[in-house]
Structure 1
């Protein structure tokens, strides 16, 4: 593999794992009020 391909792969992995980590942190730190009842029709 060329150096460019390795760099692009590393950047893509950082973006994916960074986004996942940010989503998990956002969910864990959420301190809002939970809705008592959802009106969605599932």
Structure 2
């Protein structure tokens, strides 16, 4: 391997594993989000479903 290839390999490894480490650390500090908008309640309607056609 050439020197340029080794530099890019190390840069890619640092970028990927560094991003992974920062993501895990941030997720461990704040695991839940509380800024979602209200809504999203399920009303348990069973009458609306995908259309089934016999073609």
The runs of at least 4 consecutive aligned structure 1 residues that moved more than 6 Å come to none
Residue aligning to 2:20: 20
Unpaired segments of 5 or more residues in structure 1? none
State TM-score, norm by structure 1: 0.72
**Cα distance, 1:4–1:28 mapped onto 2, change above 3 Å:** same
Unpaired segments of 5 or more residues in structure 2? 43-55
Aligned residues: 38
State TM-score, norm by structure 2: 0.56
Structure 1 or 2, whichever has the larger Rg, is 2
CA RMSD of aligned residues (A): 2.7
